[in-house]
Structure 1
């Protein structure tokens, strides 16, 4: 998952002897391929590189904790593929049938299990990862509810969270890291339903060092801030949900992705409809979020996915509707400055910075 890439890059940052290169991958779901861009490590600007074809419409990606294996969900063919990351390239390892269209995938923090959420099927699953990084047998499938949209493991590798837009709930599980099996958290689920409005939790991102989680609320065009209890593995709302839109905007909108900077100072949520990134400053003590001085930054049409470079200097956001991507400079105040716009391809669905170890 994306958070592991940040940890891996952070370890690599203290020495150049490990020789790493960062590239940007984009799942081009309308063309059944993964696009590749080389990242200029001085400016953050992108140059088209050589991507690779896949056996289906690619969607979410995940990176192993050691940064050496890439996993790609192939949504149209109900498969997940694995690739070895070596010498700046991606070598196919294997593919498995997962029996559904994986909306989100993530490894646990040992790198021994792949967790996946299935939107249409309303379930989550766990698959074994072999020592060579290939995908193995299914460990478990759990029926949850319709519209399972994301699956995230906490820093301790003990708890798992699955936001569901349909029932307005965040499902909470306990993870046995030895067997990979999930069990319902005794604390139950987080209910975000409201008789007066729809909110619909979609994606979740943990603060890198504090016990807080940040959630994009799809239907409500909001970001939710939750306090995390690291002993019980439960979430509870910290404050009212925060709007991601200007007060004078009256058009249709839904949020998609959410992500924090590696230092935890800023959070961003993508708006589809308003076509923007909403930016927030995170209070280092309370965890509360406050809109930036410039609350939103324009994006390409329908920004389904974006990703922040592990060095915290650049953000890349793709427009699913336009087939284009914008590279932004991320300022010390959290403001985003567009640097360049590039063609990506038809219906980009996932953006992933990958730090590739070079042996």
Structure 2
């Protein structure tokens, strides 16, 4: 009788546990170019604090990191080795397992998967070109390059729009954004008409962020220390600029260049990093017009080249490339302003921050 009662209690306990929501896990991956490693941290989702888990050694200085749409794989551009690497992500502990390593065709400054996770797109700063690699379902990067297209010097980023029909490549060299049509079936890029969106003089667009509704695309301007907001024509895939706002306070007179740009998951806020002023510029986004309103700047560690926002939109992590420190901020839900709550010594020359959440 006692055993039978215990059995029923056990079953009841299992049923009770099964209806409770599983606690999600989030991890932060940091490229450390000065130490040839990718550092893995676990995020405490209650307070945003980080715990170091492991380091993954790579054959050169890692740069841009990218996660596939299903969050199964992490892709890395190993810049000094001119390689691409792919890793399987263990959702239970965030650790990485190498899947493939292939020649990249150059020093790729930026990589991104297409929206279906079937291809890896890459932009080459020094070589002035873009390329496409095919991805297998198991995360393997196939070594054969599907396509290479010469563009111009200083190709800095590459990203498909939300519809997976168009691809944009900002260039600081020719002060323009290359506009491509994307054939998701064949994995081929084709120059749009016009092929270039020309930025205002001395802007030099560097990185980009695309709104979830696919109506607006924002570029941070490296030389111009500003953000330019563009409307995306959903039929033609071309851009029209309608606003440019400074990333700096009016009284700043020193040297500065912009680096990274991110939209919050809600789309209500946008952030851009200042190298020189050493800050994150914060903006409110009008959901109807896409226009930006400055919320001021939050101080960072030295030379914030890369930062990332967790998928819940609660925390932002910015890496100081010059001093090897990571600044952690809480994002105020009501207005999107940043409050720093921690600083971490992460290693030499952090060049990329990527936050991944598992349900």
Q: Tell me the equivalent position of 2:267.
A: 264
- Distance in 2, matches of 1:236 and 1:113, equals 27
CA contact (8 A) 2:311 2:356 kept: no
Q: Tell me the equivalent position of 2:50.
A: 46
Equivalent of residue 119 in structure 1, options 116, 122, 125: 125
TM-score by length of 2: 0.92
- Give 1 or 2 for the bigger CA radius of gyration: 2
CA contact (8 A) 1:187 1:232 kept: no
Equivalent of residue 280 in structure 2, options 272, 277, 280: 277
1:134 and 2:137 matched? no
- Distance in 2, matches of 1:16 and 1:138, equals 46
Q: Tell me the equivalent position of 1:327.
A: 328
Q: Tell me the equivalent position of 1:102.
A: 108
1:168 and 2:170 matched? no
CA contact (8 A) 2:27 2:42 kept: yes
CA contact (8 A) 2:161 2:214 kept: no
Equivalent of residue 76 in structure 1, options 67, 74, 80: 80
Q: Tell me the equivalent position of 1:150.
A: 157
Alignment of 1:221-300 (within 5 A): 221-239=225-243, 241-292=244-295, 295-300=296-301
Q: Say which SS state the counterpart of residue 249 (structure 2) adopts.
A: coil
- Distance in 1, matches of 2:357 and 2:132, equals 25
Q: Say which SS state the counterpart of residue 189 (structure 1) adopts.
A: strand
Q: Tell me the equivalent position of 1:5.
A: none
- Distance in 1, matches of 2:213 and 2:182, equals 20
Please identify runs of 4+ aligned residues in structure 1 that moved more than 6 A: none
Give, in angstroms, the shift of residue 131 of structure 1. 2.0
RMSD between superposed Cα atoms in Å: 1.3
- Distance in 2, matches of 1:277 and 1:201, equals 17
Give, in angstroms, the shift of residue 41 of structure 1. 0.8
- Distance in 2, matches of 1:246 and 1:225, equals 19
TM-score by length of 1: 0.92
1:161-182 per-residue CA deviation (whole Å, 9 max, x = no partner) reads: 0000000010000011011010
- Distance in 1, matches of 2:135 and 2:41, equals 28
CA contact (8 A) 2:182 2:189 kept: yes
Unaligned runs of 5+ in 1: 1-14
1:30-67 per-residue CA deviation (whole Å, 9 max, x = no partner) reads: 00001111100111111222121111100001111111
Distance 1:80 1:18, change over 3 A: farther
CA contact (8 A) 2:221 2:228 kept: yes
Q: Say which SS state the counterpart of residue 195 (structure 2) adopts.
A: coil
1:200 and 2:207 matched? no
- Report how many residues are paired: 337
Q: Say which SS state the counterpart of residue 187 (structure 1) adopts.
A: strand
1:348 and 2:350 matched? yes
